[in-house]
A and B are shown apart, each in its own frame.
Chain A
Amino acid sequence: MSSEQHFSTIDEVMHQMQQQMNLSRETEHELLSEIRGHLEDAVETAVLNGEDPHQALQDVAARFGVNEVGHALQKVHAPYESADAVLACIIPVVGALILRWLVFSPDGSAIGWEAILSRPAFWVVAVVALVVPILQFPKWRYAAVSWALFWIISVIFFVLPHSVNW
C-alpha cells in the first residue's frame, strides 16, 4: 500500500492482508477475525476521541502496518500448517499398517471381518486413529481427512490381502 492508498471499509483492509497469506481457510479465518476485532476497537476508540470515521480508518490501517502483518503471520503459521499436513498423512498410514498386521494370523493367512471385529486390539487401533488426529489438529478438516485416509487404506488392505501380503 502506498501512503496515498485509501480504504473505504475495514473489509478492504482485511482483503489487503488476506492477499499476503496463503494458509488454510480455517487458519486465515481465525487470524482475520482477531485482526478485524482489533481494527474495529481501534476505529471505535478514534471516533470516540472525535476523529472522523473515514480518517480514523486510514490512521488505524497505517498504524497497524497492513503491508507487513499478513506476510509476518504467513511466516509464523506456514511451517506449522505443513507439519500438521505431513502428520495428518502419517497417522492414518501407521494406523492402517497396524490394522493390517492384526488382520493376518501368525501363519500369514488373513482373518475375516467377523474375526477382526471381535478383537479388542482392532478397536483400540481404530479409536486411537480417530482420537489422535482430533486431539492433535486444531482443524477438523485435517482430523476428518486423516480418519478417512485410515479407513480407505485399511479397506484396501482387507479387500486385497494377497496383493499386499508382504
Chain B
Amino acid sequence: MSLQDQIRKGSTEILVLALLSEKPMYGYQISQELARKSDGFFELKEGLLYPTLHRMKQDGLLTSEWQKVGDARRRKYYAITPLGKEQLEYQSAEWHLFIEKLQAMVGNL
C-alpha cells in the first residue's frame, strides 16, 4: 500500500465526519462529495465506504435513516451525532498537530 493510500485509509473517518457535519447524506452522495471536494485525491473504492459508515454508526458517531426517493427507491441517509461532532473536533486537533510536527521535521528538506 502506498503512502497516499495509507493516509487516505487513516483519514476516511474524519473526512466522513467533516462532510456529514454540513448536512445528512447517503452513501453514494458521500463518495461523490469526497471525490469532488478533494479534486479526486480522496476518491476511494466506493464500496469500502460502507463498512466505515456502519462501524461509525455502531460507535455512536452517526445515525442513519431510510428515506423514500420517488415511488420505488429508498436511500439511507447518515447524520452526525453529538458524539460524532466531539470526535470530529478531537480528530481535527490531532491531524493539525500531526501536520504541524511533520512540517517542523521535514519542512526544510
A-to-B contact residues, CB < 8 Å: 17, 31, 33-35, 37-38, 40-42, 63-66, 68-69, 72-73, 75-77, 80
* Contact, CB under 8 Å: A65 / B48: yes
B-to-A contact residues, CB < 8 Å: 26-28, 31, 45-48, 50-51, 54-55, 58, 73-76
A-B residue pairs in contact (CB < 8 Å), sample of 26: A17-B47, A31-B50, A31-B54, A34-B27, A34-B50, A34-B76, A38-B27, A38-B50, A41-B28, A42-B28, A42-B46, A63-B45, A63-B46, A64-B46, A64-B47, A65-B45, A65-B46, A65-B48, A66-B47, A69-B45, A69-B47, A69-B51, A76-B54, A76-B55, A76-B58, A80-B58
* Contact, CB under 8 Å: B54 / A77: yes
Closest-CB distance, A66 to chain B (whole angstroms)? 7
For A73, give the chain B residue with the smallest CB separation. B51
Cβ of B74: which chain A residues have Cβ within 8 Å of it?
33, 37
Q: A33-B74, A80-B58 are in contact. Are A38 and B51 (CB under 8 A)?
A: no
Report whether over half of chain A's contact residues are helix, strand or loop; otherwise say mixed: helix
For A42, give the chain B residue with the smallest CB separation. B28
For A74, give the chain B residue with the smallest CB separation. B51
Closest-CB distance, A14 to chain B (whole angstroms)? 12
* Contact, CB under 8 Å: A37 / B28: yes
* Contact, CB under 8 Å: A64 / B76: no
